[in-house]
Structures are given as structure tokens and as C-alpha cells.
Amino acid sequence: MLHTERTTLKQSALRLGFVGADEFERLADPKPMRNPYPLKKKGILRRC
């Protein structure tokens, strides 16, 4: 949905009414999103 409508996660969550803007800011932590495969570098996790 996000890629077909070219919207952000926040825009979609707000539009669908899942969370409010303040709650999204509190829940969304972008730090883990910067490196979604930290274990792959260590050879622990293989990506399918």
C-alpha cells in the first residue's frame, strides 16, 4: 500500500486511523529501521 500510493508510514497510519500523530511519534523509533539486518553482518541470520 505504501509504495503504490507513495505515502509514508505515518501518513498511512494517520489516514487509516490506527494511531494519532502524537501516539505515532511516541511509538515509531527510526533507529532500528536504519539497520534492519544487524545479525546478518555477524553471520547469524540469513536472508531468504
- In a domain, residue 37? The reply is yes
- In a domain, residue 46? The reply is no
Q: With the C-alpha atoms ordered 16, 19, 21, 26, is the resulting torsion angle positive or negative?
A: negative
pLDDT single digits (tens) 5-47: 788 889 989 999 989 999 998 888 777 667 666 656 655 555 5
Q: What is the pTM of this model?
A: 0.52
- In a domain, residue 47? The reply is no
Q: In the 3-class helix/strand/coil scheme, how is 1-48 assigned residue by residue?
A: CHHHHCCCHHHHHHHHCCCCHHHHHHHCCCHHHHCCCHHHHCCCCCCC
Question: Structural domain of residue 15, as residue ranges?
Answer: 2-41
Residue 19 backbone dihedrals phi, psi, to 5 degrees: -145, 165
- In a domain, residue 12? The reply is yes
The answer to whether the beta carbons of residues 2 and 9 sit under 8 Å apart is yes
Structure confidence at residue 20 (pLDDT)? 93
